[in-house]
Homo-oligomer: A and B are copies of this chain.
Amino acid sequence: MGLEIERKFLVDPSLWSPQGEGTLFRQGYLSSAEACVVRVRLAGDEAFLTVKGATSGVTRLEFEYRIPREDAMVLLDMLCGPAIIEKTRYRRRFGEKLWEIDVFHGENDGLIVAEVELLAEDEVLELPEWVAQEVSDDPRYFNSNLMRCPFNSWA
């Protein structure tokens, strides 16, 4: 169990490009209500079941449990709906922080989002040059919403 404090930014693709292999994520949702999201994620060779509470500012309750990969595949195929999010995650250190950069695929192709975890909501954050607009407060960028209303469907 933990409190996740996270800020999220769009990435400028003219200033950032992938280094290394990245990890392919396939994830779906058993529940995507505002009050509680239950996510199934295949992350490379691993799999996780994650429960997240409602976001308050940039803070969110989060509980993550490792589950067998075979379970996750059945959960994604049989119980998650209506769509699956696919993205490749890259990690890059900048200053003291490890940033996670998600390059989305499929219906969210063209979207690149960088996330960074903070120790406190008011922590001063040094921004790499390749981050653009902050989208921490924009619910359209929640992965559970990108499933329902993907990036390529936006006006």
Contacts and interface: CB of A to CB of B under 8 A. Distances in A.
Nearest to A81: B35
Nearest to A70: B1
Interface string A55-69: 000000101010110
Interface in A73-100: 74-75, 78-79, 81
> How many monomers of this protein are in the complex?
2
A33 B65 CA distance: 22
A51 B30 contact: yes
Contacts of A70: 1
Interface of A: 1, 30-31, 33, 35-36, 38, 49, 51, 53, 61, 63, 65, 67-68, 70-71, 74-75, 78-79, 81
